[in-house]
Amino acid sequence: MARRPLPRILSKGSTHLARSRELARTAADGATDVLHPLITITRGLRRLAAAGRRKWADTPKDRRGSLFLLGASVILVVALVPYGPLLALIGLMAAAAWQGREHSAPKSKVPEEAQIKRLQALYEALVPYFTAVEATAPLYVHGGDWRTAFPAYDFDDSGRLRHLEILYPAYFTDGEAESRARIEQVVHAKSGRGREYLFDWDEEGNHLTVRVLAPLPTGIATQRFVTAPGETVLGFTDPTHVQRTLPLAHGGKQLDVPPVVWRTGVRSTEPHLLVVGEPGSGTTTLLRSIALQTLRYGDVVIVEGGGTGDYACLTGRDGVLAVECGLAGTLASLEWAAHETERRLIAANRARQAGHAPPEDTRRPLWILLDRPGALGHVAAADRGRDPQSLLQVPLRHGRPANVTVVVAEQFDGLDTLSEAVLQHTRARVVLGPASPEQLKDVLGTRPRSTPAVDVPPGRGYARLGTGPVHRLQVPATPDPYDDATPESHRQAVLDLLPPRTAPADTVAADADPEPPKTDARPEGTEAVPAKAAVAES
């Protein structure tokens, strides 16, 4: 069958169409060359705006006001300077041109043979946990391709995993703590021990992100923290878990470190604290740090069950009501604290009924710090006396409206000696030192999202306030200044925070001049005031 000839418009006009298309392409290329500076500047302005939005979102809320004030002052200065707006516009265009330049596409990183073997081994180790017999198209099979399960990964200079994203099937029970713990244990073992890994589970997207955590700063000495009344700094944590930073001095430099702040007072949801750890883990250091912070606004009663004299530096200081090491003194101090709690409740209740504010003496915080009360409980049981912990029921149960806070520190082997009232009312928990996952779950109520470190420095552990998340914690260095092994810088830091000593009246009278003056300048009819009474009146 003979072919019909094409229409003239298609047979002879193809040459014109090709020329028109070539002219349009040439014109577009020319326009792109002409408008290339404008396109570059526009792209740079967009990138600068995106960077500014990210900077504003990453700035803590308590620092956004100062950042906004700084930006407004810079704009005002530029507006008042001669030729300031013109120079600022030229600088902005230059910065936009620099940011908008085209970057060469980065070369795709091809994993080395050792890295491929490590990823394949991790994939094979996860097959028994992420596979099911009923699955039609399983994501994890023996001998499968690990690239389908690990969409992103990164290795450090030593060849170990630094960041890894894992996809898992939807039928995996990621809502159960036991199932998560098994996966975290496998990933920790196959990725390399000796480091702390953070596991971020996305249950909605069936996605697990694993990354290596940087070590927390150690050796930061205690100092006067920038906090409000009722706020106590327990230690420092990761910047991704809190929205606040504290300015600190460390090693001659100023640092902004994210803290773990524990809030106490009338409106606190976690008014009491329990600290647990092994010997030498830093529980006494944490209690000493809390005492130094609370003495700025309140009074402290310290009970030392171990009898090691770690709180001798606080004896006789202003605001320290008692430092007890014996059973008799502990019972007397705790009984007074119970009566004081009841007195504050009654006084505040009467003031509210009369329509007045609570008295000033009921609003001053009272802290009761007990270090190893189980040891005193053993002594009381041997003497068939009263357990000191039985006197804590009133401060623990009614301490929040009376501004009374109880902090108990105990070792793991003495947890069974703690009373039911202590375990029930101490909703803020801290675990220091090496601890197994079972011990962390028993004390904190849940497992932490990160794996524990192999070498645990003193004062290192985890903290959980109520039902909140578990934070990694590093307690500030607050050693005993009377210990010979204490570094001089840390000793001086503690001594600078100690309140002045409150000298008893007997001591002042004894130091006075024993020989009274021979001339009596008192008016007639007045009697001499005894030395102790004179000191009391002064």
Residue 370 confidence (pLDDT): 96
pLDDT (average), residues 394-405: 95
For residue 538, what pLDDT band results from cuts at 50, 70 and 90? Answer: very low
Task: Considering only residues 501 and 61, tell me which one the structure prediction assigns the higher pLDDT.
Answer: 501
Task: Considering only residues 534 and 367, tell me which one the structure prediction assigns the higher pLDDT.
Answer: 367
Residue 496: pLDDT above 70?
A: yes
Task: Considering only residues 67 and 446, tell me which one the structure prediction assigns the higher pLDDT.
Answer: 446
- In terms of domains, do 176 and 117 share one? yes
Q: Collapsing DSSP states into helix, strand and coil, what is residue 500?
A: coil
371 domain-assigned? yes
Residue 8 confidence (pLDDT): 52
For residue 153, what pLDDT band results from cuts at 50, 70 and 90? Answer: very high
Residue 14: pLDDT above 60?
A: no
Q: Which of 63-72, 116-125, 298-307 has the lowest mean pLDDT?
A: 63-72
511 domain-assigned? no
Residue 9 confidence (pLDDT): 47
| Beta pairing partners, 371 | 304, 409
Residue 527: pLDDT above 60?
A: no
Residue 2 confidence (pLDDT): 52
Residue 114 confidence (pLDDT): 87
- In terms of domains, do 255 and 186 share one? no
Ranges 94-108, 138-152, 514-528, most confident:
138-152
For residue 11, what pLDDT band results from cuts at 50, 70 and 90? Answer: very low
Ranges 20-24, 36-40, 90-94, 350-354, most confident:
350-354
Residue 241 confidence (pLDDT): 77
Task: Considering only residues 533 and 212, tell me which one the structure prediction assigns the higher pLDDT.
Answer: 212
- In terms of domains, do 415 and 356 share one? yes
- In terms of domains, do 149 and 271 share one? no
Residue 74: pLDDT above 60?
A: yes
Do the beta carbons of residue 238 and residue 257 sit within 8 Å?
no
- In terms of domains, do 164 and 289 share one? no
- In terms of domains, do 280 and 168 share one? no
Q: Which of 135-139, 186-190, 247-251, 374-378 has the lowest mean pLDDT?
A: 135-139
Tell me: the pLDDT tens digits for 329-381? 999 999 999 999 999 999 999 999 999 999 999 999 999 999 999 999 888 88
Residue 32 confidence (pLDDT): 62
For residue 105, what pLDDT band results from cuts at 50, 70 and 90? Answer: very low
Tell me: the pLDDT tens digits for 509-519? 444 444 433 33
Q: Which two tokens stand for residue 60?
A: 């803590």
- In terms of domains, do 138 and 279 share one? no
Residue 521 confidence (pLDDT): 37
Output the domain CATH number for residue 339.
3.40.50.300
Residue 432 confidence (pLDDT): 96
Q: Which of 234-248, 485-499, 514-528 has the lowest mean pLDDT?
A: 514-528
Residue 62: pLDDT above 90?
A: no
182 domain-assigned? yes
Residue 508 confidence (pLDDT): 39
Q: Which of 147-156, 240-249, 418-427 has the lowest mean pLDDT?
A: 240-249
27 domain-assigned? no
Residue 48 confidence (pLDDT): 85
Domain that holds residue 120: 113-212
Mean pLDDT across the chain, nearest whole number?
84
Q: Which two tokens stand for residue 318?
A: 């202003």
Do the beta carbons of residue 439 and residue 431 sit within 8 Å?
yes
Other Cβ atoms within 10 Å of 95 Cβ, number: 15
- In terms of domains, do 376 and 295 share one? yes
The Cα 245–Cα 240 span in angstroms is: 11
What secondary structure does DSSP assign to 43-69, as a single string?
A: HHHHHHHHHHHHHHHHS-HHHHHHHHH
For residue 21, what pLDDT band results from cuts at 50, 70 and 90? Answer: low
366 domain-assigned? yes
- In terms of domains, do 207 and 236 share one? no
Do the beta carbons of residue 380 and residue 386 sit within 8 Å?
yes
106 domain-assigned? no
The Cα 129–Cα 126 span in angstroms is: 5
477 domain-assigned? yes
- In terms of domains, do 183 and 244 share one? no
Q: Of 129, 283, 134, which is closest to residue 208 (Cα–Cα)?
A: 129
- In terms of domains, do 319 and 170 share one? no
Residue 20 confidence (pLDDT): 66
For residue 113, what pLDDT band results from cuts at 50, 70 and 90? Answer: confident
63-78 as b/e, with b when 16 or more CB fall inside 10 Å?
eeeeeeeeeeeeeeeb
Task: Considering only residues 77 and 33, tell me which one the structure prediction assigns the higher pLDDT.
Answer: 77
Count of domains forming the chain? 2
The Cα 12–Cα 316 span in angstroms is: 109
302 domain-assigned? yes
- In terms of domains, do 134 and 239 share one? no
Among 158, 184, 212, identify where a domain stops.
Answer: 212
